[in-house]
Chain A
Amino acid sequence: AQTVTQSQPEMSVQEAETVTLSCTYDTSENNYYLFWYKQPPSRQMILVIRQEAYKQQNATENRFSVNFQKAAKSFSLKISDSQLGDTAMYFCAFMKQGNDMRFGAGTRLTVKP
């Protein structure tokens, strides 16, 4: 079974600073997909970024980028120029072929003014 570990229950960052959220996973699969989702207080699940395991290039989406280390099974999320609206729970997610998705425990990020 696949497991996803987020070792940082809570993080905080000053507005405009950069923060990195860590995520590791365990799998025997070679082809899979990784995601970061954001869940603000509204509890809506919002896709932040997606990475395909067969791609070596790290995904980026504006202020969000990942550091994907396949051999180390690590998938960290970097948020640059943090904004107050980035305050939310962030979930790392693993999806194998068949679209069965598993989530980490989450990291609560607080952006401070």
Chain B
Amino acid sequence: GAVVSQHPSRVICKSGTSVKIECRSLDFQATTMFWYRQFPKKSLMLMATSNEGSKATYEQGVEKDKFLINHASLTLSTLTVTSAHPEDSSFYICSVTGLEGQPQHFGDGTRLSIL
């Protein structure tokens, strides 16, 4: 069964809207979750590391105020794309990690389209 639930799978909205994407760990408590962005036919780019109970760690070049991450519980992390613009259109994927060295389990992704 699924280890990670990501919702919604598809979002189409107008420019200027804020969009929230949820990532839930179903099988275990996750102190750390990851958010990736994937452009068409490109690889996954790590955006940020979501830490339960503390601030997220953002990769260089990722705007903290644009991509708000909240990890309020051990099973839920949210990514909010604030005041979204067409250039924010992309595929966003979250992942959950368990014990040290274990593979990350990925959500099914969210396809975000900003008109």
Contact = CB atoms under 8 A, between A and B. Distances in A.
A102 B46 contact: yes
A113 B43 CA distance: 27
A97, A103, A105: residue with the most chain B Cβ atoms closer than 10 Å: A103
A101 B44 CA distance: 10
A104 B43 CA distance: 7
Contacts of A106: 42-43
B42 A105 contact: yes
Interface stretch (A20-28, A42-50, A65-73): A42-50
- In the A-B complex, list the 10 residue pairs whose CB atoms are closest, starting with the nearest: A45-B106, A99-B97, A103-B43, A47-B103, A103-B44, A33-B101, A105-B43, A106-B43, A43-B109, A44-B108
Given A100-B49, A103-B43, A106-B43, A52 B106 contact: no
Interface of B: 32, 34, 38, 41-44, 46, 49, 91, 93, 95, 97, 100-104, 106, 108-109
A45 B100 CA distance: 20
A75 interface: no
Contacts of A52: 101
19 contacts: A33-B101, A33-B103, A43-B38, A43-B109, A44-B108, A45-B93, A45-B95, A52-B101, A91-B43, A95-B104, A97-B100, A99-B32, A99-B97, A99-B104, A101-B34, A103-B44, A104-B43, A105-B42, A106-B43
Interface of A: 33, 35, 42-45, 47, 50, 52, 91, 95, 97-106, 108
